[in-house]
Amino acid sequence: MHGRPRKAPKPEDEAASSAKSQKLGALQSQFLSHHHNRNYSQEALDVSAKLLEIIPESYTAWNYRKLAVQHNLAQSESDPDSVKSILDQELRVVESALRQNFKSYGAWHHRKWVLSKGHSSIDHELRLLDRLQKADSRNFHAWNYRRFVAALMNRSEEDELNYTTDTINTNFSNYSAWHNRSVLLSSLLEKKVQGFLPKEKALSDEYELVHQAIFTDPDDQSGWFYYLWLLDQTLKTDAPLLVSSWPAHGSSIILSRNGCSDDSPFHSFRSKSGTFPLVLYFNEAVQGVSSATVTFESSFGTHNDLIWKPLSKNNSNTAQVWVAHVKFPDTELQHSEDYPMEVQLGHSRGIISSGGFHLNHHTQIGFKVSIQSLQTETNEEKDEKMILWKDENFHICKTQSQDTNPVISLGQLPIDADHGPKISEWCEETIANEIALFRELLSEITCKIGKLTLARLVSAQDGILSQTAKKTVHSEEILELYSDLEKLDPFHSSYYKDERSLVPLQQVTSNWESLLRHFYHYGDSTSSRVDNSVCLRLNNLSLSRIGSTEKLLWIQMLDLSHNELRSIEGLEALQLLSCLNLSHNKLPSVTALGPLRLLKSLKVLDVSHNEIGSHSIDTTRYLCPSPLSHSEEVVWNCDEVVTEVDNVSKYWEAFLIFKGLSLKQLDISGNVIADERFKSFLVRFLPTLKWLDGELLH
């Protein structure tokens, strides 16, 4: 083990081991015979007890004893003493097994099962736990069992919390005690138990306790993990919040079927289908978004029957982003007229977070819609050209920073008395104090988890400041901390790189002025006309992860090329996205493109020069349902031959992701998977495709 060569066993040791194996084999054969014949005599029970003393992990033996107990109890129902004797015997067998291995899952489960019968005294249980926890105070089995026993005894959570305090003071390195403390404190805070109100006072006391552990031994991770949990409690809101939407509150948008408005490229949205999306972005995953919990009214008429769908990668009914689609009116409307619309939620219970909290803050989103044209096709569409992602085709955006912000605070809802609670002064002060404390600590020592915690603290403070100052203050410090962590802990460098890549996105999206510097008008260099399409170019930023999407819900053309993206999770929120450049990244597989399934407006996609097909093992494949499952409906458009069925089987993930899209242009060259057979498959199953890898198809 650990590089040390094995020593050859001595002859006498081999003989003893052989004799032990033969004895154990005979015992197992005898036990299985009793089990098969349903022999529940005392002699048979003694055989199973001997086996469990040797192998406490034998689930079959524990299940046999359950059957034996049920059989014997049925025959002794009228004799309380006999019932108690049968169950007490089981407790002794479990205790004997735990002495052999007190981390045996089967033994602990069997003991819980016996006590749940309700005929045994539980006074002995805490004494047993004390002995076991003295032998190993971090045994999580014992801590789980302690919670079970405490519930049976109706022991107060305050008493159990005091027990964790004593245990932690004895040994700061007891991770299980810290974990149990977080479970107990969460419950006490949720129930608003006297002595734990206000929440700020209770959490402040916890900071003092965990500081003692961290500063006593900064290299021990137990206290640090509890600290991160405590930080999360400090920052989180009890109830879910709606933080962003499209259309944004107070905005005016222009709808058309034939292209974007030349005068208002930021405002306009083109939809040949005659619908436009409503997008709700929450601060955490929620369920229960429906026409019963969200009302929508417009001059088109009242639409309380909208169908809301979660943008979930695993078809769950819980998601952070929800979308519904509103139909254009069938009749022609006045082009010069603005039609007010309103979305309201939080007026009734029903939207619930994964933690069980209800959205209880009434939110009202008002915006205006105007119709530019309802023509189905124009000459411009007939002469439509391929999008070329070349630098010379992008021209500096003429919109000036002093112009009215076209997306009203980047689509975010103002966190004020009308839209949600403000960050408390206690929270701001606590975060500032903790930053000062850890800066001082790290000036004296080098500690990986300390640097990581400081990076999270400073990021949290920037998040708080951005709500009022609309800018990031500590970006350089955060980048430096993650760069240091990559050097100190190269084994987790990918994680640190992902966290670090969120910083430039936060900088870019912190305010309208910084975002404007990344906007370009698109225009084909072969044409003298500059297109009215506006592209957000976030290329060459060393991004390995997507973030800040709640501020980009209105983006229709996005360039993320020449980064280090291995995942595009989060892009599914951008429901208006029609043109996307992901070329020259590190996307490892077709399934890494999974979020694209939810982008129904996507027409142009460039995933060229990635690593799709280079990796023999696809670690994200489980995200796509198997072709043998019935969770996906496959519709064949014509008589299929065996070759096509084989192609679907081979390229199932690609079929699943692309089948619901109406792509006109796709670039996939420079990937291992992009052979002629795969390209033929794409052409076959993407009837809307007009250009593939720069070549006109039809």
Gyration radius of the chain over CA positions = 32
242-253+269-377 folds as Immunoglobulin-like (2.60.40)
pLDDT digits (tens, 9 = 90+) for 189-220: 988 898 888 889 999 999 999 999 999 999 89
End-to-end CA distance of the chain: 64
CB–CB of 91/111 below 8 Å? Answer: yes
Burial letters for 575-586: b for 16+ Cβ neighbours within 10 Å, e otherwise? bbbbbbbbbbbb
Output the CATH code of domain 27-193: 1.25.40.120
Which runs of consecutive H residues, i.e. helices, occur in 632-689?
A: 642-650, 652-658, 676-685
Cα–Cα dist 499/458, whole Å:
13
Instruction: Give me the residues of the chain with pLDDT under 70, please.
Output: 1-18, 257-265, 267, 273, 300-304, 329-336, 373-383, 398-423, 467-472, 524-532, 616-647
CB–CB of 221/450 below 8 Å? Answer: no
In sequence order, what are the residues at sequence separation of 6 or more whose Cβ sits closer than 8 angstroms to the Cβ of residue 230? 203, 206, 207, 210
Amino acid code (one letter) for 302: T
Residue 588: predicted pLDDT = 93
Q: DSSP code of 291?
A: T
Neighbours of 59 (CB within 10 A): 12
Residue 59: predicted pLDDT = 93
What angle, 0 to 180 degrees and rounded to 10, lies between the N-to-C axes of helices 59-75 and 11-36?
A: 40
Amino acid code (one letter) for 670: G
pTM for the model: 0.82
Say if residue 247 is preceded by a cis peptide, omega within 30 of 0. Answer: yes
**Based on the number of CB atoms within 10 Å of its own CB, is 440 exposed (0-12), middle (13-18) or buried (19 or more)?**
exposed
Query: Residue 245: which of 327, 299, 308 has the closest Cα?
Result: 308
Cα–Cα dist 422/547, whole Å:
23
What would the two tokens of residue 516 be?
A: 């404007």
Beta bridge partners, 325, equal: 277
Q: DSSP code of 116?
A: T
Beta bridge partners, 394, equal: 522
Q: What residue segments make up the domains of the chain, in order of their start?
A: 27-193, 242-253+269-377
Residue 312: predicted pLDDT = 86
Residue 474: predicted pLDDT = 86
Beta bridge partners, 521, equal: 395, 534
